Amino acid sequence: MVGSTQEASNVRTRAEAAERLAYLWQRGTDFLGCEHAILGGAMTWVSERNLVSSISNAGGFGVIACGGMDTSMLAAEIAATREMTDKPFGVNLITLHPDIDNLIAVCREQNVSHMVLAGGLPSGNAIKEIKDFGAKLMCFAPTVTLGKKLVRTGVDALIIEGMEAGGHIGPVSTSVLAQEILPIIRDVPVFVAGGIGRGDAIASYLKMGASGVQLGTRFVVAEECIAHEKFKKAFIHGKARDAVASVQIDSQFPVIPVRAMKNEGTEAFMVKQREVIEKFHSGELNQEDAQMQIEKFWGGALRRAVVDGDVETGSVMAGQSVGMVKSVQPTQAIIDELIDQAVVYLSSDNT
């Protein structure tokens, strides 16, 4: 009898914790129009129709990574995703894309409900164009000052992403960004990203004031993800310390840091920088051509890894949460696991 009473008490506690989780991220779920305020990070060659639709169908919010797509490719991808889900999803555009205006026009024509602008501070024109057709706009805020500026210009929500994330990263950790920004910016929903691999971490950021989170690395090993089997295996076998940031050798030749799994390619990039810098100092290359050679080194490297499975010389972009990736699972199982972990965490929390 005592055991039954205790069991009933635990069930009630879990139910209350589930209700609290729903309360903590209600602002995020209302904004996104989904059940769980979990954004899928937009990963080039990875976040396409299959993964995006599976995240949305599982109650999260999938985001198409436009990357280097042209207008016809993006239009086809949006249409194909709509064939696979009737749930909300978004589109991520790179602000420096040479055809950004026409890509925004495609999103307008396709009646995209949510947009993410990444890769730099968006122009006023880009923000206006998106707002004019009624889409909700999310942008990345690396500092409080820029976050406030984005809100003033009409951005509807912010994403703060720490250096633990995969791909292109900034210099500040997720935990520090959260402490700097969450207590200050409350006018709009703020989603936290970078290094998140478990539900208890999600719940802790929600308690700090986040409206939701964004995960990328965790979804690479989803069954629905089209990434090559070797790419997924690299994630499963990887450890946090294996996901390293690219190193800049010479301040004259800036390198935007990229976090990826250490392999032959990351070592070759160091060698390439040294070779190019030596040619610059010897007069064989001018500074512009030298910089271009460095920047072009990784051209196509991500596709080689994701699509072709070249995990030796390709770019295996991964966040430090890769150490928490243990197996290939259906997207629904991944999200269910994250929710369960968050509920268990909140069950034992009396604050």
Among 343, 94, 332, 322, smallest CA distance to 220 is for 322
Tens-level pLDDT at each residue, the chain (351 residues): 444 444 444 555 889 999 999 999 999 999 999 999 999 999 999 999 999 999 999 999 999 999 989 999 999 999 999 999 999 999 999 998 999 999 999 999 999 999 999 998 999 999 999 999 999 999 999 999 999 999 999 999 999 999 999 998 999 999 999 999 999 999 999 999 999 999 999 999 999 999 999 999 999 999 999 999 999 999 999 999 999 998 888 888 888 788 999 999 988 888 888 998 999 999 999 988 888 888 778 778 999 999 999 999 999 999 999 999 999 999 999 999 999 999 999 998 776
- Token readout for 158 is 């912010």
Q: 29: which residues sit within 8 A by CB, 6+ positions away?
A: 22, 35, 36, 37, 212
pTM of the model: 0.92
Among 211, 273, 223, smallest CA distance to 247 is for 273
Q: What are the boundaries of each domain within the chain?
A: 2-227+326-347, 239-317
CATH number of 2-227+326-347: 3.20.20.70
Q: Is 142 exposed, middle or buried (0-12, 13-18, 19+ CB in 10 A)?
A: middle
